[in-house]
Amino acid sequence: LAQLGLQQHFRLAVGAQQGRQLVAFGPSGQLGGPGASGLSTFEGADRHLLERLADFDDDAQVEVPLPLSSIPSICRLLYLRQEVATAPLTRLFFNLCLHPQTRSCVLEHFLVLICWRPEDGSPQGALPPPHLFEGLEGGRAPQVNATEIQAVGSQRILALLAYLLRRLPQCGEFFAKALQQDKLMETLQGMRSGSDEKSNACRMPGQFSINLLLQLLAMKLFLSSSQHATWLLSVLHALLVPHKQAAESVAANNTGAAGASRAAPAVSAATAAASAEAMPTPAPDGAGDNAGASDGPPAEGGSAQQPPAASEKPTAEQQSLRRWEKIHKELHAVLSQQSVLALCRFLCQAGSGHGSNGEGDCFHMAAEILVALAASQAHLEMVRAELMRVLASLVTDIEAALAKCEATTAEPSTMETRFLRVVRTLAEVFKEASKSQTEKDLNVAGFLEEARVETLWTALDQTLERLDDTEVNATPAQRLLSQGFVPSAVRAEGSSRLSAATSATLASNVQAIPPKPLLNRLLPLMEAFFVLHNGNIEAEQDRKDKDEKKKNKAERDGTAAAAAGVASATPSNRASPLPKREVFAEVAEASVVERSRFGQFCKKHRRPLNALVKQTPGLLAKSFEPLLRHMPQCLDFDNKRGYFRSQLRSRRLESRYETIRLRVRRGEIFMDSYHQLKKEKRTGEEMRAKIQVQFQGEEGIDAGGVGKEWYSALAKEIFNPNYALFVQAGGKACTYHPNPMSYVNRDHLQFFQFIGRVIGKAIHDGHNVEAFFTRGFYKHMLGRKVIPADLEAFDPEYFSNLKWMLDHDITDIVELTFSAESDELGQQKIVDLKPGGRDMKVTNENKHEYIQLMSEHKMTNSVRQQIEHFLKGLHEIVPAELLSLFDDKELELLISGLPDIDIEDLKANTEYHSYTPQSEQVQWFWKVLSEFTQEQRAWFLQFATGTSRVPVEGFKGLVGMRGPQKFSIHRAFGGDRLPSAHTCFNQLDLPDYPSEEVLREKLVQAVSEGHEGFGFA
């Protein structure tokens, strides 16, 4: 710029009295002058300018900051091979666009430069130039490449346009005006273009700039380069898609809602900082947020939510919102049919086929622009007709292709991806159009029927059936569940009770098979299916049905209670009996969602759906989200657990609390931990931080192992009978249920909330604890209703009595009422199971309801307060909506890990240091360990890893100080020493003993005496 002699022009007058020097270059090329300190005042200075938007309108009397004849010379900087530093160049064009004359001149040059392709033989001073400039002071000989010149210039210009449109609404107004012949010829004269280009200019006057931009989408450069297409579409998105924040603000003003969403500031600090370093890069959603929405400015403190008083001057944010609202309407009105069709065809084109992120971004923005055009009603019919035409053609082609495909030799195709793109756009088009055309029938199902989309779903069903994939469960936990075992039952009975076939099935050396090529090709079709069949309507119907049932039940209970007040139960006042099939039923009646087309598809094709999710877990957060929300029972435990852990990790990253340091006494671990972690001292957010534990009187330093020991020891203390918080269920020593008489402990409810926190924290941190609960209690954690069948694990003898009642006629045999009696510390209490229950007899007709109510009383109502406080603590750490993905068996595995310790699995996931698998000591070690009982194996696991629980993915999922860390055996010297362990690293130091007998003796002694506590050997 110094060589161009333009220094004296860098002064912009923003008023009669005020001047502001923008940027000057020092002799060494560094920024100098006011505002040169890294553009640190960019935010405040721009806010000051934008507060005076009217000063920069076309009719403003402001001194021109730069001769218009200098604009072509400045534009030549865009064609340097080595790009000029982004921040000062961006700043320069921003300052030039503040003035109406230089703004118009700059934008006209930009438009011409991106619309025209450089011609061979152009004059040296023409724009676009005949070659890229090697530098201001010369350099290498110029290389002539018209494609490169157009690509470099277009990308830099579009990036500048995207930046300017986010900051200056006046730049958007330029694109809503028709080009004028005289001004365009002046621009061309300044560019010294060749005669051929001047003849091409005859087509430009009278056209609107927005149409010229849209027609660029048919050019080879933008069809072949996703990067250039993304920049162009980010500009079009800013011009044609109403800012989300602006729409919300307008809605708030119209309705007077005080809680409307607030838009981001016109010049955000983050954007300013980014612009000082590099040109902003469009993002997939960015078009709504980056290119326009995020810069639609509301007033601070929510002032944008209420219209300003008549006497108040609108703020810069309000001015910007109003201008953009007007600009969008004007641009939609001047769009030509040819331009809209060009956008539709760009969306429906095949693309490169490689599915890059940039390509997905630009197609996403093209779809959002079409949806905005349809929502404005200006081009709804045209967009809908063109997309439906393409959709019908794709359905026919895909059907024919699927009939010829082989499962293992399917060729890649872009038809399915194009189909998904069109379906998504059409769904949004109908959704937005229906908001403003409520009086018209815009049922998308009718239009899709015309395109024969349902026949395509039939073809998809048949093709998925042809795959005939065998189900392979990759982890021991998934295989255990697939066999229908209850984890706690396996633990109680022991692995010796399992058949040889079952044990082989649960072996851990099974690997998942990757999806077949055809399944990957069908993925876009399955995604499209979930777009059109997402289960939302059926789920809403389910909710209404449940509400209606609750209402009817309340009415029946009220009628029965009133009748009981007059006389004892007779055939005329008996409550409506429940159908026999609902009593002790493990499976509830199918919901509307499960019976729908969506539900049937999920159940029928569960295997291919899970194979795709295992291959690409991110599908559950995107296109397969309806499957996760409405039909989680069709997902494998491994897939649900992977999604669950990813969501917890993201929540933990949002928490910035420091490490929680606990100092506890091993003998008082429950009370010490309670006092340091109770709700009065730690919030739920704080509890998501890392815990570091120190046992008093022990030398162990917590690098992971001491924490695992703390979880194990605390889990055992939770069930200490001295606290009276839980009772053993069904006479089994390993299964527990809240104690109805826990109130004997004054702080029992606070303890239950603390225990809920501990269990939630263990789930959150991925630690398995030895805590087994009843089926009913697991269902309470999941927010599901208990059924009489759950009573079997809680009280088998009482369950048998109820089962006898159900199977036999109890007339004149059993004399019961709808009430429950209990003996609490020698005091008899009677509790009504329903209003007036103690006066209502149980008969053969209403015994089904009695069984249901008695089951609910024993497993829920008698311990309701304890359950509520436990759940309160649990949900402070782990959200209820995430836990609800699992069933009760899966939740037990998530909390407690695998019930059986598989030595072969441990052996397959062991690393050796200074030993080999063939070493004598290693062979003796595995032989001795395989002869241990399950209790001794648990002791060994506690001794070596700090926990007696096996992760749900088997021993390959062991976690150490550095994350996932396998079990390892290290050689130690000294045949008279005991084995030692480093639980933070899952490491066993095994001395080189001289015989198997010595190894057995030392190992048994070590695990028996050293599975608890820490010290230096």
**97 catalytic per annotation:** no
What does the alpha-carbon distance between residue 558 and residue 116 come to, in Å, rounded to a whole number? 80
Burial 628-650 (b: 16+ CB within 10 A, else e): bbbbbebbbbbbbbbbbbebbee
User: The tokens of 377 are what?
Assistant: 């009603």
What residues are paired with 822 via a beta bridge? 829
Burial of 44 (C-beta count, 10 Å sphere; 0-12/13-18/19+)? exposed
Residue 654 amino acid letter: E
What does the alpha-carbon distance between residue 34 and residue 23 come to, in Å, rounded to a whole number? 7
Q: How many CA atoms lie within 13 A of 558 on its CB side?
A: 6
Answer for the pair 109, 75: CB distance below 8 angstroms, yes or no.
Answer: yes
User: The tokens of 316 are what?
Assistant: 């810069």
Q: List CB contacts of 330: < 8 A, sequence separation 6 or more.
A: 173, 176
CA-derived radius of gyration, the chain? 36
What does the alpha-carbon distance between residue 139 and residue 39 come to, in Å, rounded to a whole number? 31
User: The tokens of 169 are what?
Assistant: 């609404």
Nearest to 509 by CA among 555, 548, 550, 473: 473
Place of tokens 């090329």: 29
Q: For residue 606, how many other CB atoms are within 10 A of its CB?
A: 17
75, 344, 634, 984: which is the annotated catalytic residue? 984
CA 541-542-543 angle, 5° bins: 90
Answer for the pair 514, 615: CB distance below 8 angstroms, yes or no.
Answer: yes
What does the alpha-carbon distance between residue 643 and residue 525 come to, in Å, rounded to a whole number? 23
Helix ranges (DSSP H) in 316-414:
316-334, 337-348, 357-375, 380-404
User: The tokens of 233 are what?
Assistant: 């579409």
Place of tokens 């007033």: 299
Nearest to 912 by CA among 948, 767, 920: 920
Answer for the pair 538, 592: CB distance below 8 angstroms, yes or no.
Answer: yes
660-664 vs 691-695, strand pairing mode: parallel
3-class SS of residue 964? strand
Answer for the pair 341, 382: CB distance below 8 angstroms, yes or no.
Answer: yes
Q: List CB contacts of 30: < 8 A, sequence separation 6 or more.
A: 36
Answer for the pair 419, 391: CB distance below 8 angstroms, yes or no.
Answer: yes
3-class SS of residue 728? strand
Burial of 771 (C-beta count, 10 Å sphere; 0-12/13-18/19+)? buried
Question: Which are the catalytic amino acids?
Answer: 984
